[in-house]
Structure 1
Amino acid sequence: MKLAEQLGYGNDEVLLIINADDYGLCHSVNQSVQQLLAAGAVSSATLMTPCAWAREAALWSASNKHLDVGVHFTFTSEWEPYKWGPVTTSGNVSSLVTKEGYFPAGTKAFEETADAGQVRLELISQLERALSFGMTPTHADNHMGSLYGLATGRHFLTGVLEVCAEYGLPFRLPRYVTPEQGGIAPPEMEEQAKAIAALADAKGVVILDYLVGLPFHKGEGETYDSFKADMKHLLASLKPGVTELIIHPSLAAEELDAFHAQPEKRVMEHHLFLDEDMTAYMKERGITLIRWRELQQLQRGKKAKG
């Protein structure tokens, strides 16, 4: 039985989760994500617990448990002026950090040096940090794809799926890799995706059918109107089943400008999903917005039946 049918929808329906990544990164991102969640413009967000503004984000989420917020497993710290590191306070996580004590800037360095046991410890620490703030996470995903082995082929998904199974969290993983515009995973990972999907099934972790997104950086000559047109083109190409669309919204702020190389694109994403024209377009295309909470309920219901 396909995922859509398991969730109570028809197999020919186009179901979309819009997830706002990087919640907790900074105050301007938090403001944007909270506005989008409250307006129902996005389905969910995921929290970067190691970041400086994670506490503000988590406490707001704890006070708004009807809105879907998960944990954005974070093992990289990509901006030079603004860094963060592990939240683990008891245990050895030395393989996860640079000599300065921060996460590495890129996924390749992380994949080459990280110890799988230390990764698992930090995964649990990040989840426990969210829980300590009163959150009830609905799902989990991964910042910059560091856990997927995209740079070297060395992935950490076995441990991730074990932890997600323990905590009752569905995980951002596409069952199908597609070469069409907006596909996040490269086509050469199709066989690996099948194997990991089978592992997720075996461990009882619910995953997506498809995962899509547009470039995170503003292209040369890109405008709000051209970005909107590209997003509409992407949405028009969605297949029946459950797709997640990744976005990284923020309000405009000096805070964001101080460390981010492409802040304009994040601001565009904030405004795009509050744009009534986009809402009307999704309705016209027959796209149904769903929530990670539905996948979590499915996962926990299966486990209960045992």
Structure 2
Amino acid sequence: MKIIILLVLLLTSGLNGFSQEVKNLAEKLGFDRNAKLLIVHADDLGLSHATNSAVMEAFQKSGITSGSIMVPCPWFPEIAEFAKNNPNFDIGIHTTLTSEWDKYFFGGILPASDIPGLLNKNGYFYPSVEAFAQHANAAEVEKESRAQIERALSFGIKPTHLDNHMGTVLASPEYYQILLKLGKEYRLPVLIPADIIAGISPQLLEVLSKDNILVDHLFMINQASPAEKWGEPYLKFIADMKPGLNEIIVHLAYDNDETRAIMINHPDFGSEWRQHDLDFVLSDDFKKAIKDHDIKLVTWRQIGKVQYPAKE
């Protein structure tokens, strides 16, 4: 009997010791176990000069902690130079396979003959996820996505992560697996929104959680608010934030002639929208909320160092 009790005690203490050794992401980043981690992420870098300028200001004034570049866009070289010259800023690749604007278009990095399924009759990406899904195929999605990463690298960018414009890769598990495959190949963490994936496939979420770091809660406004109340949805998300890894996605640009011309007939995520987002991330209200709710700002670079430790 004494031997059995001793064995139970030894096993129990061993299990307790093991559980204490397993650190969660917050602890691996040097925070308390129940810390509320937040990435403030700007999408669509490279879309325009007004976008790039707004993002640069937001980085320099600590309004955002991260951003991702649309490599096929005309103003990619400008933001690529900024990223190369400012390697301390956290900048990833926003793989781009759609072109949603009425009078402003872009296509692939590869020749049209290499990716015919991704392009419309005029040689540009399709404007919607639905049209993309109807025409795309996995081989071309992988070729073009890889080409965008390689082009970014050739410009001297050291990307910190991968995500995807308009969520096109969520149109098919096969396409999403391509993004994950590229992440592993280039040793870059991929944005995996756990709350969204859970609604699509709990089984897939379980598989993904084994080898990847997931964003527990992803937040992005999808409906415009009056200008004077623009920050309220963001502030509510911050106030209600749970422990774990969270991400707020914003879209930044100056509301000027360039942005209004690009985004004509497109009030959602349009010119005024992007100016409001910029004003919010630079506001005292935003900074105060982060401080008042003890939010720990983090970057994808930090996530990558945990997911892909440096090789010895």
Give the TM-score taking structure 1 as reference length: 0.88
| From 185, 195, 199, the counterpart of 2:203 | 195
- Cα gap change, 1:104 to 1:154, in 2 (>3 Å): farther
Q: Which residue of 2 aligns with 1:181?
A: none
**What amino acid is aligned across from residue 275 of structure 1 in structure 2?**
S
CA distance in 1, matches of 2:206, 2:148: 26
Misfit runs of 4+, over 4 Å: none
Unmatched runs of 5 consecutive residues or more in structure 1 = 178-184
What whole-Å deviation, never above 9, does each CA across 1:88-111 have from its counterpart, x for those lacking one?
Answer: 249721111111111100001111
Secondary structure of the residue that 2:169 maps to in structure 1? coil
- Map of 1:174 onto structure 2: 193
Secondary structure, counterpart of 1:109 in structure 2: helix
1:165 equivalent in alignment to 2:172: no
Q: CA deviation at 1:28?
A: 0.3
Alignment partners' CA distance in 1, 2:221 and 2:29: 27
Report how far residue 198 of structure 1 moved.
4.0
Tell me the amino acid that sits aligned with residue 70 of structure 2. Answer: M
1:270 aligns with 2:292: no
**Aligned runs of 1:68-217 on 2, under 5 Å?**
68-89=90-111, 92-149=114-171, 155-175=174-194, 177=195, 185=196, 190=198, 192-201=200-209, 204-215=211-222
More helix by share: 2
Instruction: Give the greater-gyration-radius structure (CA).
Output: 2
**Does the CA-based 8 Å contact 2:217-2:245 persist in structure 1?**
yes
- CA deviation string 1:117-160 (max 9, x = no partner): 110111110101111110000011111001012xxx55511111
| 1:25 corresponds to which of 31, 47, 51 | 47
Is the partner of 1:258 in helix, strand or coil?
helix
Question: Retained in 1: the 8 A contact 2:112–2:123?
Answer: no
Provide the rounded CA distance (Å) in 2 between the counterparts of 1:91 and 1:102. Answer: 12
How far has the Cα of 1:205 moved from its partner?
3.8
Q: Secondary structure at the match of 1:147?
A: helix
Q: What residue is the counterpart of 1:180 in the other structure?
A: none
| Aligned length in residues | 285
TM-score relative to the length of structure 2: 0.86
SS at 2:234's partner residue? Answer: helix
Match of 1:15 in 2: 37
The one of 250, 253, 258 equivalent to 2:256 is 253
2:138/2:174 contact within 8 Å kept = no
Distance in 1 between residues matched to 2:28 and 2:165, nearest whole Å: 28
Matching residue's letter, 2:306:
L
1:229 matches 2:232: yes
Residue type of the alignment partner of 1:243: N
* Distance change (3 Å), C-alpha of 1:91 and 1:5: farther
Structure 2 contact 112–119 (Cα < 8 Å) conserved? no
Rate the CA distance shift 1:109–1:161 in 2: closer, same or farther, 3 A: same
Task: State the SS of the aligned residue for 2:221.
Answer: coil
Aligned position for 2:89:
67
| Aligned sequence identity (%) | 31
3-state SS of paired residue (2:91): strand
- Alignment partners' CA distance in 2, 1:195 and 1:8: 31
Indicate conservation of the 8 Å contact 2:26/2:33, yes or no.
yes
- Say what the alpha-carbon RMSD is for the aligned residues: 1.9
2:214 and 2:245 in contact (8 A); partners too? no
